[in-house]
Chain A
Amino acid sequence: MNNVVEKRNAGEESAVGRFVENLKAAPHRFTETMFRSGRPHSDRTRSTFVFGNVFLHLHSVRTHRWSLRWSATWGLGIAAFSCFFVLVATGVLLMFYYKPYPDVAYLSIKDIHFVVPTGRFIRNIHRWSGNMMVVIVLLHMARVFYTAAYRPPREFNWVTGMGLLAVTLGLSFTGYLLPWDQLAYWAITIGANIAQSPREVTDALGMTQWFDVGGLQKLILLGSEEVGEEALIRFYLFHVMILPLALVALIAVHFWRIRKDGGLARPVDADTRLGPPSGEVYPVFTEAPQKTYSLAAIVKGRTAVVGRGPEQTIPSMPHLLFGEAAVFMLTIALSVILAIFLDAPLKEVANPAVPENPAKAPWYFLGLQELVSHSAFMGGIGIPMIVLIGLGLIPYLDRETEGTGIWFGGPGGRPLVVGSAIFGLAAVVAVEAFVIRFGWIRQWWPNTPQLVVTLVNPGTLLTFLYAVYSVWCLRKYDSTRAGALALFTCFVCGFVVLTVIGSYFRGPNWDFYWSPSQWPGH
């Protein structure tokens, strides 16, 4: 009792006083405890800011100046990840209202459009981000290829990236069906028929009744013979759970491997190419290393800083992180701007009795659909498999070192890429123009066996032309990289031109039209 009174008399250190003081300090302490090391003012705190944060510690503490130039990556990887982030956020919101059952699904999209507060806007963002993600992932792949960034030790990350591309396309494709409108229904029907295209070969060989791999693929995809409720629930499950989880797992591997493979690819002579850092870049670590980087020795492979001061690296916080934040916000800004002006399409409710004519697959498959119109098997399975296997083999076949980390690096360089682009465009336009003008074997000799058409069709002809050209470049420059540059460029041109033809110049019955205004019946 006495003690209490004494303390109260002492005045300045009463419990109430301390309580009030603690209360005042709470916000400050909360921030401190959250970021552990306080504000990033010094080199030391900047470092702890990065590795003391669960979200940021995937970055290295210091980043090479080469990687920080915009032209090194154009921020495409982060942009793709930003799209995914936006897609998850908006997708979860949409899931609150979406009901995955035929017809009801369509009505729920109508409700999202008309009644759910800002539902139309959220759906538009989701749609635009989804399309942007496909485009950005493709561009990202092109960037990695053209800067030869797939070379050792990054071969496996290239393959991971291909997995990410496949999952991204899968996500977009499964999402395409969910609105359950005519566009969705017939696009997925086309997609499922592409999956069924091996039947063209098994039919021609007369073995479909024993070995119907095409039918099996379609059945696995749709859960039924036709697009229906089984297909819808299946696509929904893939779209909202299985594929996103797969994507997250692959992204984790992809990011982790970037760190473990020593950051972004850069040329051996990056330091000389960059020259001395300008005075504005602060702070540059110029002192001789006081520590050995023994810890780095247990990581497989070489690290750039062993035995040498990291004179060309600068703290990731703020330099890298602000760049990434800028790309992140830029991507979001682009998708919301598109979303506010352009509504996601929603046609009539799906009606299996009224086929869309033309029924078109999602745009990124329209190049394939164009090839499928010539030969289902080659367009749907053959050529995509050749392309996928070719892409996957690139890092294992190209073991050269010249030009790593440099745009269009390697023998031939930019002139070779320009030449290949010209050849690639000319070849695809010529082949398509010929087919559109004069038709193909089936029109000339209606009784030609199917196997002949499967083997000799505009798609295989184009692939053959590209392959021959690429081998020619390979021999000319005496370099696998040169052949790869030629082939990749040709296929990009083919993909773009075929996609454009499929999107804009194909009308009812997949006939050629200069513009939709010439379509019959309009």
Chain B
Amino acid sequence: MKANKHLLLWSSLAALAVLLWAAVDENFLRDWRVIQWGIQARLPSSQADAFTIQLRQIVSREVGATDRCVSCHVGMAPGESGIEGDRLFGRHRDVVHDPASYGCTVCHGGQGRATDTADAHGTVPHWPEPMLPKEYLFAGCGGCHTHLSVPNLTQLEKGRARFEQADCLACHKLDGRGGTLRPGGAGGQEGPDLSRVGAYGFKANWYEHHMEQKKKAASGPWVSAFGELSESERREIDEYLRSRVGAPGLSEAKALFHTLGCRGCHKVRGVGGDDGPDLTAVGNRDPGQLSFAQVQGERTLANWFKQHFRSPAAVVQGSAMPELGLTERQVDQLTFYVLSLRRRNYPEALWPKDRIRAERFGMREFATDGATLYGTFCAACHGAGGEGMRYPGFAAFPAIGNLDFLRLVSDDFLREQIKRGRPGRRMPAWGQQEGGLRDEEISRLVAYVRDLGGAAYEGDPKPRRWVEGDVVAGERLYVKACAACHGDRGEGREGPALNNRVLLDLATDTYLFKTIQNGRTGTSMVAFGAGSTVRGALTDAEISSIVAFLRTWEGKK
């Protein structure tokens, strides 16, 4: 009885104490309350009275955001004035997308509904989308936007150099630089800020317009800073300006992606090869679902990507992606770009025009000149200059810029080859099917590849099939001379597969004959028509019989 009374007393007191603690915790210890008190204390007394301690939030029904970030970052809440330079009470930088109507998480990521610091920043278990790190902030643009016609990095850099050489920065601002001179004189008109000129467009006749102004002017920057530009210079500047969409660094990162040939294996929004994983939403991946067993350092998506780019197979067991030998800067840029490959699902009415152009009108994200197409789809395997590639652990990739090769193939051969690929090998078919290229794009690619070697097709007066040879002798010779590289059944080893359906269909007898006879300079394929110290020369008849033997594989697997 007495014991029960004691038990009742103490358990009641314990429960009461916990309830009191819960009340104290709720009213005095919540992160956002403590922060708002701190802000109130720093405000001048007149403002401090008007400052209410309360939960603040931005609700945007359209984008589905309920963001309570402004409960701590109060200065960014609608209607708050903020303190200049204050980390938590400072105002948001002026941006096109007003936080008051779009919320915060749309661009920054994180957990908008949370009111505790770690939860809100999303750096807690079971929150799939932590905030984007500051250095990759503009990757957030990729949630809605699709930057179109981005050229390869060489061209973009050329455009930037041209833009700076032409001294455009004298009057124009771009990504926070330049704009020191006023073309209209003191108090006159400023040069427009060009940081986002690619997003809202510019007049095609800007150059003529500038020239008129220059003619009218007697002094000042119109005379001192602006000079004549050639048409090619103007084209390069135009290209550069189109890439200025208010996301500094992101266009360059995307341009690098269009230089290294990543889409040869990876699809992004439906265009690209099938060898690697589709990257369309790879920036949305949940770090909690990734294996960090072989990744040192912090468990963030950015760090995972970086280590993966340095050494893919070390991070993902059995990865078919070679080590690309990237510089740290390239690793950084690629990480930036793949983080921007994120997708949010909004009603179509909210789509920006670039996304509508890309997804409804089929506009390309990559520029469709030959160089960018080659950089986007081919460079990873065939090398930036068509010299072929050799990655540790992978069979060598053919040098398609080789002179001996280009002399023997017509443009039709190249076009058909690109369209049909090499079934069963890593070369995909790039024809009209899903993920492929359009006819005019393939034509530009063919022209570009032709230019890589700078060799024209030497022509072939003979019919496509003219060889007659002894198949048995051919097989004997093949086993002796060719099988070591091309495999016993032509399945390909160090050298390309010769039993390939598309190859045997496209290759003329002349092509096969001359390739064996003359070899390919600079590759492992030597000229068998000429002897060497270790091996006698093959006669024309012998080469013919080898070709005849190769033809026996036609129609077989």
A residues neighboring B (CB under 8 Å): 107, 110-111, 114-115, 117-118, 121, 181-182, 280-281, 318-319, 322-323, 325-326, 329-330, 332-333, 336-337, 339-340, 346-348, 354, 520-522
For chain B, residues 286 to 336, give those with C-beta under 8 angstroms from any C-beta of chain A: 286, 288-293
Q: Give chain A residues whose Cβ lies under 8 Å from the Cβ of B289.
A: 354
Is the Cβ of B55 less than 8 Å from the Cβ of A337? no
Q: Cα distance A329–B293 when bound, in Å? A: 47
Which of B11, B23, B119, B127 touches A348 (beta carbons < 8 Å)? B127
Is the Cβ of A322 less than 8 Å from the Cβ of B1? yes
Q: How far is the CB of B225 from chain A (nearest CB, A)?
A: 55
In the complex formed, the residue of B with least CB distance to A114 is B115
Is the Cβ of A348 less than 8 Å from the Cβ of B126? yes
Q: How far is the CB of B164 from chain A (nearest CB, A)?
A: 46
Is the Cβ of A114 less than 8 Å from the Cβ of B126? no
Q: How far is the CB of B59 from chain A (nearest CB, A)?
A: 12
Q: List 5 A-B contacts (CB under 8 A).
A: A325-B8, A326-B7, A326-B8, A329-B8, A336-B18
Is the Cβ of B291 less than 8 Å from the Cβ of A323? no
**Residue among A107, A114, A330 with max Cβ neighbours from chain B (10 Å):** A114
Is the Cβ of A322 less than 8 Å from the Cβ of B8? yes
**Residue among A118, A181, A182, A318 with max Cβ neighbours from chain B (10 Å):** A118
Q: How far is the CB of B271 from chain A (nearest CB, A)?
A: 23
Q: Mark B104-141, 1 if CB is under 8 A from A, else 0.
A: 00000001011110010000001110000000000000
Is the Cβ of A333 less than 8 Å from the Cβ of B293? no
Q: How far is the CB of B64 from chain A (nearest CB, A)?
A: 10
Is the Cβ of B68 less than 8 Å from the Cβ of A521? no
* B21 on the A face (CB < 8 A): yes
In the complex formed, the residue of B with least CB distance to A323 is B4
Is the Cβ of A326 less than 8 Å from the Cβ of B11? yes
* B12 on the A face (CB < 8 A): yes
Is the Cβ of B11 less than 8 Å from the Cβ of A114? no
* B530 on the A face (CB < 8 A): no
Q: How far is the CB of B296 from chain A (nearest CB, A)?
A: 15
Q: Give chain B residues whose Cβ lies under 8 Å from the Cβ of A521.
A: 290-291, 293
Q: Give chain B residues whose Cβ lies under 8 Å from the Cβ of A117.
A: 26
Q: Give chain B residues whose Cβ lies under 8 Å from the Cβ of A354.
A: 289
Q: How far is the CB of B547 from chain A (nearest CB, A)?
A: 50
For chain B, residues 192 to 246, give those with C-beta under 8 angstroms from any C-beta of chain A: none
Is the Cβ of A118 less than 8 Å from the Cβ of B22? yes
7 pairs of A and B residues whose beta carbons are closest in the complex: A521-B291, A326-B7, A329-B11, A326-B8, A333-B11, A336-B18, A333-B15
Q: Give chain A residues whose Cβ lies under 8 Å from the Cβ of B14.
A: 333, 337
Given contacts A319-B1, A323-B4, A329-B11, 9 further A-B contacts (CB under 8 A): A114-B115, A118-B23, A121-B26, A181-B126, A325-B8, A340-B22, A347-B126, A348-B128, A522-B291
Q: Cα distance A319–B4 when bound, in Å? A: 8
Is the Cβ of A333 less than 8 Å from the Cβ of B128? no
Q: How far is the CB of A405 from chain B (nearest CB, A)?
A: 21
Is the Cβ of B126 less than 8 Å from the Cβ of A522? no
In the complex formed, the residue of B with least CB distance to A320 is B4
Q: Cα distance A332–B15 when bound, in Å? A: 7
Is the Cβ of A340 less than 8 Å from the Cβ of B18? yes
Q: Cα distance A114–B128 when bound, in Å? A: 18
Q: How far is the CB of A500 from chain B (nearest CB, A)?
A: 23
Q: Give chain A residues whose Cβ lies under 8 Å from the Cβ of B15.
A: 329, 332-333, 336
In the complex formed, the residue of B with least CB distance to A118 is B26
Q: Cα distance A43–B544 when bound, in Å? A: 123
**Residue among A319, A347, A348 with max Cβ neighbours from chain B (10 Å):** A348
In the complex formed, the residue of B with least CB distance to A336 is B18
B residues neighboring A (CB under 8 Å): 1, 4-5, 7-8, 11-12, 14-15, 18-19, 21-23, 25-26, 55, 66, 68, 111, 113-116, 119, 126-128, 286, 288-293
Q: Cα distance A318–B26 when bound, in Å? A: 37
Q: Cα distance A111–B68 when bound, in Å? A: 11
Is the Cβ of A281 less than 8 Å from the Cβ of B126? no
Is the Cβ of A326 less than 8 Å from the Cβ of B4? yes
In the complex formed, the residue of A with least CB distance to B125 is A347
Q: How far is the CB of B116 from chain A (nearest CB, A)?
A: 7
Q: Cα distance A318–B2 when bound, in Å? A: 11
Is the Cβ of B119 less than 8 Å from the Cβ of A114? yes
Is the Cβ of B1 less than 8 Å from the Cβ of A107? no
In the complex formed, the residue of B with least CB distance to A341 is B18
Q: Give chain B residues whose Cβ lies under 8 Å from the Cβ of A340.
A: 18, 21-22
In the complex formed, the residue of A with least CB distance to B26 is A118
Q: Cα distance A54–B306 when bound, in Å? A: 71
Q: Give chain A residues whose Cβ lies under 8 Å from the Cβ of B127.
A: 348
Q: Cα distance A281–B115 when bound, in Å? A: 55
Q: How far is the CB of A284 from chain B (nearest CB, A)?
A: 12
Q: Give chain B residues whose Cβ lies under 8 Å from the Cβ of A330.
A: 7, 11
In the complex formed, the residue of A with least CB distance to B15 is A333
Is the Cβ of B18 less than 8 Å from the Cβ of A115? no
Q: How far is the CB of B540 from chain A (nearest CB, A)?
A: 59
Q: Cα distance A281–B2 when bound, in Å? A: 10
Q: Cα distance A115–B66 when bound, in Å? A: 12
Is the Cβ of A332 less than 8 Å from the Cβ of B11? yes
Q: Give chain A residues whose Cβ lies under 8 Å from the Cβ of B293.
A: 520-522
Q: Give chain B residues whose Cβ lies under 8 Å from the Cβ of A329.
A: 7-8, 11-12, 15
Q: Give chain A residues whose Cβ lies under 8 Å from the Cβ of B26.
A: 117-118, 121
Q: Give chain A residues whose Cβ lies under 8 Å from the Cβ of B18.
A: 333, 336-337, 339-340
Q: Cα distance A110–B57 when bound, in Å? A: 14
Q: Cα distance A340–B291 when bound, in Å? A: 33
Q: Give chain B residues whose Cβ lies under 8 Å from the Cβ of A323.
A: 4
Q: Give chain B residues whose Cβ lies under 8 Å from the Cβ of A114.
A: 68, 113-116, 119
Q: Give chain B residues whose Cβ lies under 8 Å from the Cβ of A348.
A: 126-128, 286, 288
Is the Cβ of B5 less than 8 Å from the Cβ of A322? yes
Q: Cα distance A330–B13 when bound, in Å? A: 10
Q: How far is the CB of A209 from chain B (nearest CB, A)?
A: 37
In the complex formed, the residue of A with least CB distance to B127 is A348
Known: A521-B293, A522-B293. A115 touches B7 (CB 8 A): no
In the complex formed, the residue of B with least CB distance to A340 is B18
Is the Cβ of A336 less than 8 Å from the Cβ of B116? no
Is the Cβ of B55 less than 8 Å from the Cβ of A115? yes
Q: Give chain B residues whose Cβ lies under 8 Å from the Cβ of A339.
A: 18
Q: Give chain A residues whose Cβ lies under 8 Å from the Cβ of B19.
A: 336
In the complex formed, the residue of B with least CB distance to A330 is B11
Q: Give chain B residues whose Cβ lies under 8 Å from the Cβ of A522.
A: 291-293
Is the Cβ of B114 less than 8 Å from the Cβ of A110? yes
In the complex formed, the residue of A with least CB distance to B1 is A319
Which of A115, A333, A346 touches B68 (beta carbons < 8 Å)? A115
Q: Cα distance A337–B14 when bound, in Å? A: 8
Is the Cβ of A318 less than 8 Å from the Cβ of B11? no
In the complex formed, the residue of B with least CB distance to A318 is B1
Q: How far is the CB of B289 from chain A (nearest CB, A)?
A: 7
Q: How far is the CB of B545 from chain A (nearest CB, A)?
A: 51
Q: Give chain B residues whose Cβ lies under 8 Å from the Cβ of A337.
A: 14, 18
In the complex formed, the residue of B with least CB distance to A339 is B18
Q: Cα distance A23–B18 when bound, in Å? A: 38
Known: A111-B113, A114-B119. A322 touches B126 (CB 8 A): no
Known: A110-B114, A337-B18, A354-B289. A281 touches B1 (CB 8 A): yes
Q: Give chain B residues whose Cβ lies under 8 Å from the Cβ of A347.
A: 126
Q: Cα distance A330–B5 when bound, in Å? A: 12
Q: How far is the CB of A281 from chain B (nearest CB, A)?
A: 7
Q: Give chain A residues whose Cβ lies under 8 Å from the Cβ of B25.
A: 121
Known: A114-B119, A332-B11. A322 touches B4 (CB 8 A): yes
Q: Give chain B residues whose Cβ lies under 8 Å from the Cβ of A336.
A: 15, 18-19, 22
In the complex formed, the residue of B with least CB distance to A354 is B289
Q: Cα distance A281–B7 when bound, in Å? A: 18
